[in-house]
Every structure is written in structure tokens, then in C-alpha cells.
């Protein structure tokens, strides 16, 4: 089976959909973070796939962006997890349904 | 010496006035201190008066003045001052001495009064003000003291202020005399306008001296009559005499002070003081203003004598006798007998004080009973009061030889008999003398003889502090008869500035026998009528209608009620009505317009501007409520919304391209 761009895009879309589904439906804050990480990973996969199947040779721009986005995702995970811990200390729960202080 | 005394003449009124101020500042409970201070003040005044009096004795026609500028207004200075002449000196002596007797008597009479201290403060004030009237050398200063006398009389007549009748009497006295004083004040203004000075004597420039009199000219008659208005008010002359009998509501020593030494004497004194104004341009001793004085005096004297016959209140009888005697004095002044009038004033001061204090003693002994019908038989119970009262009665009736009033009355008759204008006053005066003797005999019989009646059951002689002044005054009334005897017209000469010489022949005059006969006739008539007097008056039985007329004071009070007072009240009611309806209505109309405008703007504000603002805020709040409902606070719902929106955008994008 020859890897084609379509195959990568299908995998990427699947990954994104799973991430989105997780972010939208899970009640646990950490699972939502995981969903967001999945969507980020799908985006990075797209960058690399479009770079790999684009006209060659060219500078590795897609790879650079992917590496940057992985670094940013790591930083984002740090911030997100720290927030989850802070919120947990306050609410004694990680169930996002109960974080409704901003309700109008 | 003379200079020093005249310069410091003000000390005489100042002493009682200062005493009055000090007493007023004392607590009400310091009773003995108050009385002692008042008497000290009066003794000082008496001592200084004697000193001043002794000065005036030597040269005939002595007169010394001390003038100074009180204050400046613009270029003009207002000058006041004091004068010492025989007129002032004799009055000073009389006021100070009679006043002192009354002060001492008051200690006994007012002993049980709760406002004893205040009473003495007022008495001192009264005496001081009157002394001020006497020494004033300026019409303005005289007027000031004159009003102070009026104030003091108001305070004292209304001394028992808790009695409504006393309060009303005080008010009546004040307002009635004020009517006269208005004329007096107008007279002062007119005089100042014409002569430019209010000083009596000022080295030839005063208003009673040549230059001033010439400047006055023909207006002197009007000025004199206006000033006489003041005298009519103060001295209780017809038609302003109505306050004087009502003034009997005050304590008896006050009545004595008002009727003898102060207040009523002020009016007669005033006429005597400004006599040159009255007699200016006299033809044969008659001027229009003097004729008015005579007429008023005659009317007053006769009317008051008649009313006195119909009175039953011991003090009211004396009050009307004062009115009639004052009328007599006015007649005397009017016919040119200034010295005779003043002599009668001085003699009257002593014996009327005696009579009033005697009446006070009787009232005190009879438990505050005033009605002579309820007394009787007091002769044995109150011997000292009886004897001294008898002396006063004789003096008032005008019994000559031994009693002071007789000689002075005879002098007045003498002067009246020679009045060139008319003989009528003379005959009316003779009738007045009979009436005076008649009503005094009536009073004596009712009070002192006959059987004891209701009020005299427990009567007793008064304490020495009350009888001593009676004895002193009675002796004065007798001793004065020696000084006043026409055989040696010393006081007459002293007052007029002529030298007197002894001439026993003057005694034997037709008028002497006439007056003697008339007084005897009056007393005999009195005995004949009232010998068997009981609870009812013999005259009342004989002539009920006439007696009622006299008893009700000739209905003058009622007449004033119906005319002057009714008119005043009507005017007051009309003003009140105008105030309430016209002016109040205008004010209310303006107020109503303001209110209408106010309610209009309120409506505009509420319905227009406020409503708009309210609508805007309600709308905003509604939108806010709807918007806020979208905010669930659930982070995943937001996320779903974002997702759905992106999807929709994608679909839109796909559809558009």
C-alpha cells in the first residue's frame, strides 16, 4: 500500500474528529486537554503531509512548523494542567460541568 | 458751691434709679436688702434735694442751669441740661419727702407680698423718673423722664399682674396716657422746628426766654395746646381721665405715689414749667391756650367731684378727688395763678399721700376690703388712722386756718375770681368746693362712724411702720398751713420770685369767709345726708337714676367703648379682613400659580423625560437578561458553538464557491 496524501489527510481528519469529540463530550478536564492535544497533533500531521507531498526539493517549512507547534503544545499542556490543578484546588472536582461560575 | 451743686443735680434722680437697678439685680428673696436700698436711695435724694432747696432760698428768683451737648448730628448738637429754680426745688422736696413716707409705709403694707423686692425696685424707679422730670432743663430730657414715669406707672399699676383687672388697668393707663403723649411729642417737634432749641433756659436763647418766644410767634398757641395734651393724659384731665380711677387696681402705696408725688403731678408741673409758652401774647392775662386749660380744668373738677359722690370703693373716691383737685390746679394755672396752682400741687401731694396711705391702712386692717359700705365704726378700732385721715380729709375739703389745702384752695379761688375773661369758673369752683366737702364727709362717716359692718368685725390698727408715715404726713399737712398762710406769703413769693412780708390783714378777706362757709356747708350737708347711712346710700334712695349716672362714672368708659374703642376694633377687624382676604389672597394666587407651573414641570419630567430613560433601561435590562441566559458557564457548550459555527462557515464557503 503506497502512502498517499489522501491517506494522511484521512488519518489527520480522523485524529482531529476524535480530538474534537473528546474535547466536546468528556466531562473530565484532563480528557478535554488530551482531546485538544489530539487536534493539535492532527494539525501537525497535516503540515508534515502537505510538506512531504509538495514539490521537492524545498526547505523543511512544514517540519519546522510541526516542531514549533509541538513545543507550543507542550507549553500549552503545562499551562492547561496547572490550571486544572488550580481549579481542582478550588472546586475539589475536575468535572467541567460544575465549573459554571461564568453563567449569566 | 452753687456751681458744683447745679452741675451735679443729676445725682438726685440718679440715686433712686441706681437703687432700683441694684435691687432688680438682687434675688427675689433678699427682701430687707431691697427695702433698705430703696430707702437709702430715697434718703440720698431727699438730702440732696434739701441741699439744692437751701440754695434757692436766698436771692429771690434764683435760677441756675447746667447745659451740655448730649450728641451731635451733622452740624447740630442736641443739648440737654438741668435747671434749679424754686419750682424745681419745691417739687424735689415734695417728691422726695412724700416718696420716702410712702416707701416706709410700703414695708408694712407689702410685707406679705411675694414680689416685695421687685416692688421696691419699681417704686425707686418711679421716684427717680419723676425727679428727673422735675430737674430737666430740656423738653427732650423731660419727655424721656416723662415716658419713664409712664413705664413705671404701668409696671406698678399692673404689679399684681395675676389679677386680670390689674393687667387691664395697667394697659389702659399706659395707652390712655400715650394718646396725650403723642400730642406732647408733636408739640416738641413743632417747638424745635420753630425755635431750634429744646432747652428751657439757656442764657437768653432757650425756648422759654425772649429770643425763643419771639421765634415761636403765633404758633406758640398750638405748641402750648399740644404740650397740654400730654399734661391732660398724665394728670388725668377730661377727656383722658379714665385711666386714673382704674389705676386703683395697683397696690395702695402705688396709688399714693401716683396720686400724690409722681405721675399726675407731672402734668401740672409741665404746664407750670412751660408757662411762658401758654402766656405768650397774653391780653390782660388771657390767651386762647390758657382758656382751654381753664375750661378743661373746670369740666374735670366738677365732673370728678360729682362722680366721687356715687362711688363706694374707698380708693376710687380718692382717685376722683385727685382728678378734681388736678382740675382745680389746671384752672389755677389757666387763670394766671401759677404759684397758687403749684402750692396746691405741693400741699395736695402731702395730704393726698396721707389720705391714700390712710386708706391703705384701713384696707389692710379690713382684710383687703375696698367697699366703704362694708366698713364702719373704725374710729375706735383704728384711732391713729382715724385722726390722720381726718386731717387729710379736712385738708382736702379745704378747711382753712389749720389745714394746708384750705389756704391754697383759697388762693386759687382768689386767682379765679379775678380772671378777666369770665366769672363762670369761679362759681363752678365754689360748687366744686361744696361737693368736695360733701363726698369726703360721706366717706368719713361710712368708714369711721356708725356701727361696725361686715368687713370691720376683725379690723385692727396697723403696725407702727405704717402709722408713722401717716403721722409724719399729717404733721406736714398741718405745718404746711403755716408756711402757706396768705398772711406771710413766703412760698408764693418764693415761687414767683418776689419777696414776702408779713401782713395779717391779708388773712381777713371775703374769699376766706366764702370758702369757710362753703366748706362748712358741705360738711354739714354731708352730715345731714349720711348721718343714718347704712348699707345703702341715702342719695341712691332719693335719686336712683342720677346716682346710677354718677356711680357709673357718667358712662364715659362705656361711651369710649362704643365710640373710640369700637372704632379702633372695627378698623382692626377691617385690617385683619383685608390682610386675610386681599393680601393673603394675592399671596395665595401667586403661590397657586407657582404650584400649577410646578405640577406641569413635574408631569413633563415624570411622563416625558423619566419615562424615556425608564424605557431605555428596561430595554437594556431585557436584552441583558436574554443575552445572559446564553451564557451557561459550561465551557464545552461554548466549544460546541464554535464547532457548529465553523462547520456552518465551511458549508457557507463551500456553497458560495
* More confident call, A67 vs B93: A67
Average pLDDT of every residue of chain A: 89
Chain B residues within an 8 Å CB radius of A91: none
Partner residue opposite A100 with nearest CB, options B633, B639, B643: B633
Nearest CA in chain A to B629: A104
Q: How many residues does chain B have?
A: 657
Distance CA(B234)–CA(B242), nearest Å, equals 11
Taking the C-alpha atoms of B514, B518, B521 and B527 in order, what is their torsion angle to the nearest 10 degrees?
Answer: -150
Residue A104's pLDDT band, with cuts at 50, 70 and 90, is low
Min Cα distance B644 → chain A (Å) is 11
Q: Are B119 and B251 in contact (CB under 8 A)?
A: yes
- Placement of cell 399706659 in the chain: B174
- The distance of Cα B49 from the centroid of its chain, to the nearest Å, equals 24
User: What angle separates helix B404-417 from helix B510-530, to the nearest 10 degrees?
Assistant: 120
- Placement of cell 382717685 in the chain: B319
Which residues contact residue B476 at a Cβ distance below 8 angstroms, ignoring those fewer than 6 apart? B97, B350, B354, B404
Taking the C-alpha atoms of B615, B621, B623 and B627 in order, what is their torsion angle to the nearest 10 degrees?
Answer: 180
Distance CA(A65)–CA(A7), nearest Å, equals 21
Distance CA(B429)–CA(B426), nearest Å, equals 5
Q: Could you tell me if B629 lies within 8 Å of chain A, comparing CB atoms?
A: yes
Which residues contact residue B653 at a Cβ distance below 8 angstroms, ignoring those fewer than 6 apart? none
Q: Could you tell me if B627 lies within 8 Å of chain A, comparing CB atoms?
A: yes
Min Cα distance A100 → chain B (Å) is 4
User: Interior CA angle at B490 toward B485 and B495, to 5°?
Assistant: 115
Min Cα distance B612 → chain A (Å) is 27
Chain A residues within an 8 Å CB radius of B637: none
Residue B496 is predicted with a pLDDT of 67
Q: Could you tell me if A2 lies within 8 Å of chain B, comparing CB atoms?
A: no
Q: Do A96 and B629 touch (CB under 8 A)?
A: no
Distance CA(B365)–CA(B108), nearest Å, equals 12
Residue B627 is predicted with a pLDDT of 86
Q: Could you tell me if A59 lies within 8 Å of chain B, comparing CB atoms?
A: no
What is the CB-side half-sphere exposure of residue A86 using CA atoms within 13 A? 6
H or E element in which residue B362 lies: helix B338-365
Taking the C-alpha atoms of B279, B283, B284 and B288 in order, what is their torsion angle to the nearest 10 degrees?
Answer: -60
Nearest CA in chain A to B630: A104
Partner residue opposite A104 with nearest CB, options B627, B636, B639: B627
- Placement of cell 400730654 in the chain: B230
What are the percentages of helix, strand and coil residues in chain B, rounded to 5?
75, 5, 20
Q: Do A23 and B636 touch (CB under 8 A)?
A: yes
Cell numbers found for residue B375: 366698713
Q: Do B630 and A104 touch (CB under 8 A)?
A: yes
Q: Are B259 and B329 in contact (CB under 8 A)?
A: no
- Placement of cell 404689679 in the chain: B159
Min Cα distance A59 → chain B (Å) is 31
Q: Are B195 and B248 in contact (CB under 8 A)?
A: no
Is omega for the bond preceding B239 within 30 degrees of 0, making it cis? yes
User: Interior CA angle at B42 toward B36 and B45, to 5°?
Assistant: 145
Q: Could you tell me if A20 lies within 8 Å of chain B, comparing CB atoms?
A: yes
Chain A residues within an 8 Å CB radius of B640: 24
Question: What is the Cα Rg of chain A in Å?
Answer: 17
On the question of pLDDT at A14 being above 90, the answer is yes
- Hey, what long-range contacts does A22-28 have (CB within 8 A, 24 or more apart)? A23/B636, A23/B639, A24/B636, A24/B639, A24/B640, A24/B643, A25/B636, A27/A95, A27/A96, A27/A97, A28/A94, A28/A95, A28/A96
Residue B534 is predicted with a pLDDT of 63
Nearest CA in chain B to A36: B639
Q: Name the phi and psi angles at B599, rounded to 5.
A: -70, -30
Q: Where are any strands of DSSP class E within B403-482?
A: none
How would you classify the pairing of strands B76-84 and B64-73? antiparallel
H or E element in which residue B81 lies: strand B76-84
Residue B650 is predicted with a pLDDT of 93
Partner residue opposite B634 with nearest CB, options A20, A25, A97: A97
Could you report the predicted ipTM of this complex, rounded to two decimals?
Answer: 0.81
pLDDT average per 10 residues of sequence, chain B (657 residues)? 79 88 83 85 88 78 80 80 84 86 82 83 89 87 89 87 85 87 89 80 76 75 86 84 81 81 82 83 77 87 85 83 86 82 83 84 78 74 81 79 74 79 82 84 79 68 77 80 68 66 63 77 79 67 72 74 84 92 91 94 88 91 88 83 92 93
CA distances to B212, B290, B427, B532 from B284, rounded to whole Å, are 22, 12, 21, 50
Chain B residues within an 8 Å CB radius of A16: none
At B84 the three-state DSSP class reads strand
Residue among B462, B470, B379, B471 at smallest CA distance from B110: B462
Q: Could you tell me if B626 lies within 8 Å of chain A, comparing CB atoms?
A: no
Q: Do B634 and A23 touch (CB under 8 A)?
A: no
User: Where does residue B542 rank: exposed (0-12), middle (13-18), buried (19+ CB within 10 A)?
Assistant: exposed
CA distances to B60, B491, B492 from B483, rounded to whole Å, are 17, 7, 9
CA distances to B17, B32, B237, B451 from B152, rounded to whole Å, are 11, 22, 20, 40
Min Cα distance A51 → chain B (Å) is 24
Q: Could you tell me if A99 lies within 8 Å of chain B, comparing CB atoms?
A: yes
pTM of the model: 0.72
Q: Do B633 and A96 touch (CB under 8 A)?
A: no
At B83 the three-state DSSP class reads strand
Q: Do B635 and A96 touch (CB under 8 A)?
A: yes
Distance CA(B66)–CA(B53), nearest Å, equals 16
H or E element in which residue B66 lies: strand B64-73
Q: Do A24 and B636 touch (CB under 8 A)?
A: yes
Among the listed ranges A31-35, A39-43, B542-546, which one has the minimum average pLDDT value?
B542-546
- Placement of cell 459550561 in the chain: B634
Q: Name the phi and psi angles at B103, rounded to 5.
A: -60, -45
Q: Could you tell me if A23 lies within 8 Å of chain B, comparing CB atoms?
A: yes
Q: Are B307 and B550 in contact (CB under 8 A)?
A: yes
Amino acid at each position: 500500500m503506497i502512502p498517499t496524501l489522501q491517506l494522511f489527510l484521512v488519518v489527520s481528519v480522523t485524529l482531529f474528529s476524535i480530538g474534537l469529540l473528546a474535547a466536546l463530550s468528556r466531562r473530565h478536564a484532563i480528557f478535554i486537554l488530551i482531546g485538544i492535544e489530539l487536534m493539535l497533533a492532527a494539525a501537525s500531521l497535516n503540515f508534515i503531509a502537505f510538506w512531504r507531498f509538495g514539490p521537492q526539493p524545498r526547505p523543511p517549512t512544514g517540519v519546522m512548523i510541526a516542531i514549533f507547534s509541538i513545543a507550543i503544545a507542550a507549553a500549552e499542556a503545562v499551562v492547561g494542567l496547572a490550571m486544572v490543578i488550580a481549579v481542582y484546588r478550588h472546586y475539589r472536582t475536575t468535572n467541567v460541568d460544575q465549573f459554571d461560575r461564568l453563567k449569566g | 458751691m452753687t456751681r458744683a451743686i447745679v452741675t451735679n443735680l443729676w445725682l438726685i434722680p440718679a440715686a433712686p434709679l441706681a437703687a432700683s437697678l441694684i435691687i432688680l439685680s438682687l434675688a427675689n428673696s433678699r427682701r430687707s436688702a431691697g427695702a433698705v436700698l430703696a430707702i437709702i436711695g430715697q434718703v440720698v435724694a431727699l438730702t440732696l434735694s434739701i441741699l439744692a432747696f437751701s440754695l434757692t432760698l436766698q436771692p429771690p428768683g434764683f435760677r441756675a442751669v447746667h447745659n451740655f451737648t448730649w450728641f451731635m448730628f451733622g452740624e447740630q448738637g442736641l443739648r440737654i441740661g438741668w435747671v434749679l429754680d424754686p419750682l424745681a426745688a419745691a417739687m424735689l422736696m415734695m417728691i422726695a419727702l412724700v416718696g420716702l413716707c410712702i416707701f416706709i409705709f410700703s414695708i408694712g403694707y407689702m410685707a406679705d407680698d411675694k414680689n416685695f423686692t421687685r416692688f421696691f425696685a419699681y417704686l425707686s424707679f418711679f421716684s427717680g423718673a419723676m425727679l428727673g422730670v422735675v430737674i430737666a432743663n430740656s423738653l427732650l430730657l423731660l419727655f424721656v423722664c416723662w415716658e419713664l414715669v409712664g413705664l413705671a406707672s404701668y409696671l406698678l399699676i399692673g404689679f399684681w399682674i395675676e389679677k386680670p383687672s390689674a393687667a387691664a388697668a395697667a394697659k389702659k393707663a399706659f395707652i390712655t396716657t400715650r394718646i396725650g403723649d403723642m400730642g406732647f411729642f408733636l408739640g416738641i417737634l413743632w417747638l424745635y422746628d420753630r425755635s431750634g432749641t429744646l432747652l428751657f433756659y439757656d442764657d437768653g436763647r432757650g425756648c422759654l426766654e425772649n429770643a425763643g418766644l419771639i421765634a415761636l410767634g403765633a404758633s406758640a398757641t398750638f405748641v402750648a395746646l399740644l404740650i397740654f395734651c400730654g399734661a391732660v393724659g398724665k394728670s388725668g384731665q377730661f377727656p383722658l381721665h379714665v385711666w386714673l380711677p382704674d389705676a386703683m387696681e395697683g397696690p395702695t402705696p402705688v396709688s399714693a405715689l401716683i396720686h400724690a408725688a409722681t405721675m399726675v403731678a407731672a402734668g401740672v408741673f409741665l404746664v407750670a414749667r412751660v408757662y411762658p409758652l401758654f402766656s405768650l401774647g397774653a391780653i390782660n392775662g388771657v390767651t386762647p391756650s390758657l382758656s382751654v386749660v381753664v375750661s378743661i380744668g373746670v369740666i374735670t373738677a366738677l365732673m370728678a367731684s360729682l362722680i366721687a359722690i356715687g362711688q363706694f370703693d374707698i380708693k376710687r373716691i380718692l382717685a376722683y378727688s385727685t382728678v378734681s383737685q388736678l382740675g382745680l390746679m389746671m384752672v389755677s394755672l389757666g387763670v394766671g395763678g401759677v404759684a397758687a396752682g403749684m402750692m396746691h400741687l405741693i400741699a395736695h401731694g402731702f395730704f393726698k399721700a396721707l389720705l391714700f396711705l390712710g386708706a391703705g391702712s384701713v384696707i389692710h386692717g379690713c382684710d383687703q376690703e375696698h367697699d366703704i359700705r362694708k366698713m364702719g365704726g373704725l374710729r375706735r378700732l383704728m384711732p391713729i388712722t382715724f385722726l390722720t385721715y381726718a386731717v387729710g380729709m379736712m385738708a382736702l375739703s379745704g378747711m382753712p386756718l389749720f389745714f394746708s389745702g384750705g389756704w391754697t384752695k383759697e388762693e386759687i379761688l382768689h386767682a379765679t375770681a379775678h380772671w378777666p375773661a369770665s366769672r363762670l369758673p369761679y362759681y363752678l369752683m365754689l360748687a366744686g368746693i361744696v361737693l368736695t366737702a360733701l363726698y369726703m364727709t360721706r366717706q368719713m362717716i361710712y368708714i369711721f362712724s356708725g356701727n361696725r359692718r361686715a368687713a370691720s368685725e376683725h379690723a385692727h390698727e396697723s403696725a407702727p411702720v405704717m402709722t408713722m408715715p401717716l403721722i409724719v404726713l399729717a404733721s406736714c399737712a398741718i405745718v404746711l398751713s403755716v408756711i402757706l398762710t396768705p398772711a406771710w406769703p413766703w412760698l408764693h413769693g418764693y415761687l414767683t420770685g418776689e419777696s414776702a412780708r408779713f401782713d395779717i390783714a391779708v388773712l381777713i378777706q371775703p374769699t376766706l369767709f366764702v370758702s369757710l362757709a362753703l366748706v362748712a356747708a358741705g360738711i354739714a350737708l354731708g352730715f345731714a345726708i349720711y348721718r343714718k347711712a347704712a348699707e345703702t346710700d341715702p342719695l341712691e334712695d332719693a335719686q336712683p337714676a342720677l346716682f346710677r349716672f354718677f356711680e357709673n362714672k357718667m358712662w364715659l368708659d362705656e361711651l369710649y367703648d362704643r365710640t373710640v374703642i369700637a372704632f379702633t376694633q372695627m378698623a382692626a377687624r377691617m385690617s385683619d379682613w383685608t390682610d386675610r382676604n386681599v393680601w393673603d389672597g394675592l399671596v395665595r394666587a401667586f403661590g397657586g400659580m407657582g404650584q400649577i407651573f410646578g405640577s406641569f414641570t413635574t408631569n413633563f419630567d415624570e411622563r416625558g423625560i423619566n419615562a424615556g430613560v425608564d424605557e431605555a433601561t428596561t430595554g437594556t435590562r431585557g436584552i441583558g437578561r436574554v443575552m445572559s441566559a446564553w451564557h451557561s458557564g459550561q465551557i464545552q457548550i461554548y466549544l460546541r458553538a464554535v464547532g457548529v459555527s465553523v462547520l456552518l462557515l465551511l458549508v457557507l464557503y463551500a456553497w458560495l464557491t
